[in-house]
Structure 1
Amino acid sequence: MKGTELFPQCGFSSRAVAILEHLQVPFKTVDVLQDPEIRQGVKEYSDWPTIPQLYVKGEFVGGSDIMMEMFESGELKQLVGEPAA
């Protein structure tokens, strides 16, 4: 993502954090603004042009628009599972 979990640097990254926090799932972020090679590398790795990108168990899911669609349909909650008790 652009920025960090505590300080997202774009609206899309902020939306991604809000969705994951709402689902109460643990997640890690990588600030692509800190390293241009990581920023370009993640785009090439996923063959997806935008950031942020969501990966669940190492599998690419999509960007923030895909996350929002999946969140609204309930599909994202099923994918990430229930929060730990």
Structure 2
Amino acid sequence: MSDIQSWIKETVTQNPVVLFMKGTAQFPQCGFSGRAIQILKTCGVDNIVTINVLEDADVRQGIKEFSNWPTIPQLYVKGEFIGGSDIMTEMYESGELQTLLKA
């Protein structure tokens, strides 16, 4: 496992909610990342750890390999890969995401 992969694994397992995104929670750099942050805030999640993949090309590539998922944003809850913006939207609309985040 590379250093980047090890760092990603450590980050997602040591924090309850991690969002790999383009930009920051305050200034998302793409619509999908912005929507992901809005959904998490609407769910009442305060302690979101956000990782700006635009700051580090190795992290941007590494997270795609780590999750075997080609797009950003990527949400992790309690170390488990949940999905991207579309999956988050579907789970939010069904109430599944709120349940997962409160568990």
Q: Give the alignment's TM-score, normalised by structure 2.
A: 0.78
Q: How far is 1:5 from its partner?
A: 0.5
SS in structure 2 opposite 1:37?
Answer: helix
Q: How many residues align?
A: 82
**Structure 1 runs of 4+ with >6 Å offset:** none
State the one-letter code of the partner of 1:78.
T
2:25 counterpart letter in structure 1: E
Residue 28 of structure 1 and its aligned partner are, at CA, apart by 1.1
Q: Which residues in structure 2 correspond to 1:63-78 (within 5 Å)?
A: 63-78=84-99
Whole-Å Cα distance in 2 between the matches of residues 50 and 20 of structure 1?
18
Give how far 1:7 is off: 0.3
2:82 and 2:41 map into 1 onto residues whose CA distance is 17
Equivalent of 1:18, from 38, 59, 68?
A: 38
Question: 2-side partners of 1:23 and 1:75: how far apart?
Answer: 11
Aligned residue runs from structure 1 range 1-85, under 5 A: 1-25=21-45, 26-81=47-102
- Which amino acid in structure 1 is aligned with residue 62 of structure 2? G
SS of corresponding position for 1:28: strand
What is the TM-score normalised by the length of structure 1?
0.94
Mind listing any 5+ residue stretches in structure 2 that lack a counterpart?
1-20
Identity %: 65
In structure 1, the gaps of 5 or more residues are: none
